[in-house]
Amino acid sequence: MTATGTSAAPAVGWIGLGDQGLPMARAVAQAGFPLHAWARRPVSLDGLSGVPHVRHNDIKDLAAASDIVALCVGTDDDVLRLAERLLDGLRPGSVVVNHGTGLPSAAVRLTEVCATVGVEVLDAPVSGGRPGAEEHRLTTMVGGPQPVAERCEKVFTSFSRHVVHLGAAGAGQTAKLFNNALLMLNQAAIVDIVGLAAELKLDVPRLVEVLKLGSASSTALTLLNTMVTPDTVEHLSAVQALDIELFDQAMGEARIDSDAVTARGLTGARGLPDLVGRLNP
């Protein structure tokens, strides 16, 4: 039985109502799952207005009311600190899910910490940004025990178009880091091509629109001037630079030489502002 008294609709606790976490949480409530929410800043909970939810002032109370607790916060350190507080209230058999991007080794560490009190863990980072979350078309990459992933799949499907289980703890994070690295590698290639086009005095914005329509098209291209705009590019460039550092650290921990990929990825991340500038002269 779940905290709500039915195995069909597990109660979902949610922590992290930021740019992506908020529309994900709203999607969970809209899908009919009992939603419980806690925030460091209570004003953040106002974003859930209009969907059914229960607000909690105490994180332990949220834990006690939840079968699954989803974390959508900034860093692995944030996740671990919150999990340690949640463990005072979670029942054995409950599940902690980390939807943020982090290190595979941190996912393993979180699993070990939670296992001491019989709590399960999934690392389930997502790809698709805020637009994907709002349109319920994220891709969720899941690491952890297969039976636990199956228990949570309906919750993930509420905000995802694709939910893929990739293996044991850390597998979801590994996939997300590869996803982010490849996006940046593709951006680096676009930077190269656009630079050559500019030397030829071509109409760069029109060229990029044509490339989006042809066999050269990629997500990296289609995001330009849609999600990646003059207003968002500086922030996204900085986030990508942090992501490629995580990728490099993960590969280092696995004793894999990723120097060339990391350097190329940084080129793509750091070149993004100039690229968007060329598209918006």
Coil vs helix vs strand at 33:
coil
User: Which of 180, 177, 136 is CA-nearest to residue 160?
Assistant: 136
CA–CA dist 98, 142 (Å, integer)? 10
Helices (H) and strands (E) in the chain, counts: 12, 9
- Which amino acid makes up residue 126? V
Q: Quick one: pLDDT at residue 6?
A: 44
- Residue 19 token pair: 């740019």
Q: What is the DSSP string of 21-46?
A: HHHHHHHHHHTT--EEE--SSGGGGG
C-alpha dist (Å) from residue 281 to 203, 236, 275, 277: 10, 20, 10, 6
- Residue 42 token pair: 């209570």
Q: What is the DSSP string of 76-119?
A: HHHHHHHHHHHTTTPPTT-EEEE-S---HHHHHHHHHHHHTTT-
Coil vs helix vs strand at 10:
coil
Coil vs helix vs strand at 281:
coil
Contact 267, 191 (CB under 8 A): yes
CA–CA dist 97, 144 (Å, integer)? 10
Contact 260, 185 (CB under 8 A): no
CA–CA dist 22, 25 (Å, integer)? 5
Give the burial class of 47: count Cβ atoms within 10 A of its Cβ; 0-12 exposed, 13-18 middle, 19 or more buried. Answer: middle
Note the pTM of the prediction, 2 decimals.
0.93
CA–CA dist 132, 130 (Å, integer)? 5
C-alpha dist (Å) from residue 204 to 78, 114, 196, 271: 42, 52, 10, 15
Q: Which fold has domain 12-168?
A: Rossmann fold (3.40.50)
User: Which of 132, 133, 148, 144 is CA-nearest to residue 172?
Assistant: 144
Coil vs helix vs strand at 124:
coil
CA–CA dist 230, 99 (Å, integer)? 27
Contact 72, 15 (CB under 8 A): yes
Q: Quick one: pLDDT at residue 5?
A: 38
Contact 188, 266 (CB under 8 A): no
Q: Quick one: pLDDT at residue 3?
A: 52
Which residues, given as ranges, of the chain have pLDDT below 70? 1-8
Q: Quick one: pLDDT at residue 4?
A: 43
